Amino acid sequence: MRLENKVALVTGAAKGIGMEIALKFANEGAKVIAADMADLTYSHDNVEGVKLNVSDGENCKKVFDEVVAKYGKIDILVNNAGITRDGLTVKMTDEMWDLVIDVNLKGVFNLTRYVGPHMQSNGYGSIINISSVVGVFGNIGQANYAATKAGVLGLTKTWAKEFARKGENVRCNAIAPGYVMTDILKTVPQDLLDGFAKLTMLGRLGQPEEIANAALFLASDESSYITGQTLNVNGGMRL
């Protein structure tokens, strides 16, 4: 039970990687608030589903206040909610650009602006931002997505400094997953996915649970001397 007595808020946790993280944390003893625009696709005694649109700042403040009022604290925040609206730069509309920035980048800021200072006052916390291999290497047709996922790495390093600046035990790290089989890949043609698998040292795509294992490590005290880092969980991929 590596997360006993911990309270964890996980965004985008209705399905996919967020769901695996929520279930992994819950099985390790944490009380998990799974916050998503959609209904949860599963149930667990330690998981409470909450409706949240991370791109809505007021909604984020309300959910933050409610979670702290109900559970007294937030020990772990996983900023996982994310979307894609892919297209070559020449064809990318303002709507595609703005929507991805609002959810993947502003959405991470919207919650952490409350949770980070709250952890500082408690003197304890672990923030995990879900970036992407695309934020590290860039990718054709994903200028908007790459900008947000690289931006999240800047936020991670900034918050690692800012929320621990008075000696608080508050850590902030990022996970940069490679290609992982979830609904977000539904729009990617199979031949491209096969190509991505070949670009990894392990010769395959990832499973959501493999990202959740990394999140558990960064959430738990097993990573107590790790902060401001990016953990690449991508099978040894080069894009």
Positions in the binding site for ligand NAD (CB under 6 A): 11-12, 14-18, 36-38, 52-55, 80-83, 103, 107, 130, 132, 177, 179-180, 182-185
Which spans in 72-189 are helix H? 94-101, 107-122, 133-137, 143-162
Cβ-based nearer residue to ligand NAD, 165 or 198: 198
Chain Cα centroid distance, residue 87: 23
The DSSP 8-state label assigned to residue 103 in this structure reads I
In Å, what is the CA distance from 190 to each residue of 88, 194, 195, 204? 19, 6, 9, 13
The DSSP 8-state label assigned to residue 86 in this structure reads -
Closest distance of CB 130 from ligand NAD, Å: 4
Closest distance of CB 37 from ligand NAD, Å: 4
Cβ-based nearer residue to ligand NAD, 30 or 103: 103
Whether the Cβ atoms of residue 145 and residue 86 lie closer than 8 Å to each other: yes
Single-letter residue type at 236: G
- 42, 114, 124, 145: the active-site residue: 145
Cβ-based nearer residue to ligand NAD, 164 or 211: 211
CB proximity list for 188: less than 8 A, separation 6 or greater: none
Residue 71 known to be catalytic: no
Closest distance of CB 89 from ligand NAD, Å: 19
Whether the Cβ atoms of residue 219 and residue 126 lie closer than 8 Å to each other: yes
Closest distance of CB 215 from ligand NAD, Å: 10
Query: Token digits for 168?
Result: 């608080």
Active-site amino acid positions: 145
